[in-house]
Homo-oligomer: A and B are copies of this chain.
Amino acid sequence: MSSNPNPTPRTRVVREPQRAVYDRDAVNQILDEAFLCHVGFVVDGQPYVIPTSYGRAGNVLYIHGSAASRMLRNLDQGIPVCVTVTLLDGLVLARSVFNHSMNYRSVVILGTATLVDDPQEKITALRVLSEHILPHRWDDSRQPNEKELKATSVLRIPIEEFSAKVRVGPPIDDEPDYTYPTWAGVIPLEMRSGAPNRDERCSRELPEYLRDYSRKGK
């Protein structure tokens, strides 16, 4: 296991430094609860940000290359990326407009994305991606064939240069504002699953692993 060089000058949290987290375990916990990231890359000086799912295996993040085909056109020996993962936990309503905020947990990873060439690593990575989003689903699906594997590209991003930013708790107002006559507190927000919607060409009962889908405690 590599040592943790964080923060680097590039990942040091500039705004609200008291919210910064550089601990790998805390970062992994955020990465494991979420499964959607926003990948940033540069083409001809123009930044692009693309949403895509990811999976984590140790200190490596895997994403589908197909999600960023503009990026792949320029991928040769690797391309600098920024992968950002954000969990929104609530609206923080202070007495003053100025002290309104949000509760959130976010991770920023800077690194070089490279194409996974090795067929064995590719299939492992695809399994990691699948299991990260929905455990047990891989084994309960029709496995990828050669043609599908060829049509899929996977990128590897090392989780080496990173930082997280976390805000929790109630609003913090300036002392004189506490008497201001308004409601103050937090409106919690959470991504929740609804009742599974079975495909009309499927007659199977819902399996156990699809009941009450939730990201909590991942």
Q: What residues make up the interface of A, taking CB atoms closer than 8 Å to B?
A: 10, 14-15, 36, 38-42, 45-51, 53, 66-67, 69-70, 80-84, 86, 88, 90-91, 93-98, 100, 102, 104, 106, 108, 110, 126, 130, 133-134, 137-138, 140-144, 148, 151-152, 170-171, 177-178, 180-202, 204-207, 210, 213
Contacts and interface: CB of A to CB of B under 8 A. Distances in A.
B198 A96 contact: no
Nearest to A65: B15
A192 B180 CA distance: 28
Contacts of A141: 93-97, 100, 180, 182
14 contacts: A15-B67, A15-B69, A38-B40, A48-B110, A49-B84, A51-B104, A96-B144, A97-B138, A100-B130, A183-B198, A183-B210, A184-B204, A185-B198, A190-B194
A10 B201 contact: no
A68 to B, nearest CB: 8
B36 A40 contact: no
Quickly give the copy total for this chain.
Answer: 2
B187 A201 contact: no
A97 B185 contact: no
Given A183-B202, A187-B193, 17 more contacts: A14-B70, A36-B88, A38-B40, A41-B47, A42-B42, A48-B82, A48-B110, A51-B86, A97-B141, A97-B143, A100-B137, A142-B180, A183-B207, A184-B202, A185-B196, A185-B199, A187-B196
B193 A189 contact: yes
Contacts of A80: 45-47
Interface centre among A181, A183, A204 (most CB of B within 10 A): A183
Contacts of A50: 84, 108
Nearest to A182: B140
